[in-house]
Amino acid sequence: MSRIDLHTHTNFSDGSFSPAALVELAHKKGLNILAITDHDTTDGIAEAMEAAQSLPLELIPGIELSTEFQGRETHILGYFIDRADPQFQTRLERLRSTRLDRIQHILDRLHTLNVEISLAEIEHVAGSGTIGRPHIAQILINKGYVRGMKEAFERFLGVRGKAYVRRLVPEAAEIIAWITDAGGIPILAHPYWEGLNANETVVSCRTMVDQGLRGLEVFYGTFSARQISSNLHLARHFGLLVTGGSDFHGTFKPEISIGTGRGSLNVPSTVMDRLRLAAGR
Ligand SMILES: [Zn+2]
Ligand SMILES: [Zn+2]
pLDDT band at residue 127, thresholds of 50, 70 and 90?
Answer: confident
Q: What is the pLDDT of residue 72?
A: 87
pLDDT digits over 159-174, tens only?
A: 999 999 988 889 999 9
What are the percentages of helix, strand and coil residues in the chain, rounded to 5? 45, 15, 40
- The answer to whether residue 267 scores a pLDDT higher than 70 is yes
Nearest CA-CA partner of 37 in 16, 55, 60: 60
- The answer to whether residue 242 scores a pLDDT higher than 70 is yes
Distance, CA of 110 to CA of 133 (rounded, Å):
12
Give the Å distance between the CA of 33 and the centre of ligand 1: 20
At residue 62, what is the residue type? Answer: G
* Ligand nearest to C-alpha 76: 1
pLDDT band at residue 131, thresholds of 50, 70 and 90?
Answer: confident
Give the Å distance between the CA of 226 and the centre of ligand 1: 20
Give the Å distance between the CA of 247 and the centre of ligand 2: 5
Q: What is the pLDDT of residue 178?
A: 98
Q: What is the pLDDT of residue 173?
A: 97
Q: Within the chain, where are the H helices?
A: 19-28, 45-53, 86-112, 119-126, 133-142, 149-152, 172-181, 198-210, 225-238, 270-279
Distance spanning both ends of the chain, measured CA to CA: 25
* Ligand nearest to C-alpha 253: 2
Across the chain, mean pLDDT equals 94
Residue pair 7/33 in contact by the 8 Å Cβ criterion? no
At residue 201, what is the residue type? Answer: T
The phi and psi torsions of 158 (rounded to 5 degrees) equal -75, 175
- The answer to whether residue 1 scores a pLDDT higher than 80 is no
pLDDT digits over 201-226, tens only?
A: 999 999 999 999 999 999 999 999 99
Q: What is the pLDDT of residue 237?
A: 95
* Ligand nearest to C-alpha 248: 2
Number of C-beta neighbours around residue 164 at 10 A:
15
Q: What is the pLDDT of residue 25?
A: 97
**Mean local confidence (pLDDT), 235-258:** 95
Residue 62's DSSP bridge partners are 79
Give the Å distance between the CA of 114 and the centre of ligand 2: 31
Total-model pTM: 0.89
Distance, CA of 218 to CA of 268 (rounded, Å):
11
pLDDT band at residue 281, thresholds of 50, 70 and 90?
Answer: confident
* Ligand nearest to C-alpha 39: 2
Q: How far is CA 247 from the centre of its chain?
A: 6
Give the Å distance between the CA of 9 and the centre of ligand 2: 6
Q: Which residues contact 43 (CB under 8 A, 6 or more apart)?
A: 12, 128
Distance, CA of 172 to CA of 124 (rounded, Å):
31
* Ligand nearest to C-alpha 15: 2
pLDDT digits over 3-40, tens only?
A: 999 999 999 999 999 999 999 999 999 999 999 999 99
Give the Å distance between the CA of 64 and the centre of ligand 1: 7
**Mean local confidence (pLDDT), 171-179:** 97
Could you tell me how many helices (H) and strands (E) the chain has, helices first?
10, 7
Q: What is the pLDDT of residue 113?
A: 96
Q: Which residues contact 59 (CB under 8 A, 6 or more apart)?
A: 23, 34, 35, 36, 45, 48, 49, 52
Give the Å distance between the CA of 277 and the centre of ligand 1: 24
Give the Å distance between the CA of 26 and the centre of ligand 1: 20
Give the Å distance between the CA of 73 and the centre of ligand 1: 9
The phi and psi torsions of 13 (rounded to 5 degrees) equal -130, -120
pLDDT digits over 55-96, tens only?
A: 999 999 999 999 999 888 899 999 999 999 999 999 999 988
Full set of structural domains in the chain with CATH: 4-84+170-279 (3.20.20.140), 92-157 (1.10.150)
Give the Å distance between the CA of 90 and the centre of ligand 1: 22
Give 148's DSSP letter.
S
Q: What is the pLDDT of residue 129?
A: 79
Q: What is the pLDDT of residue 16?
A: 93
Distance, CA of 213 to CA of 188 (rounded, Å):
7
Give the Å distance between the CA of 37 and the centre of ligand 2: 7
Distance, CA of 37 to CA of 59 (rounded, Å):
11
Residue pair 275/187 in contact by the 8 Å Cβ criterion? no
Give the Å distance between the CA of 217 and the centre of ligand 2: 11
Could you tell me the sign of the dihedral formed by the alpha carbons of 276, 277, 278, 281, in that order? Answer: positive
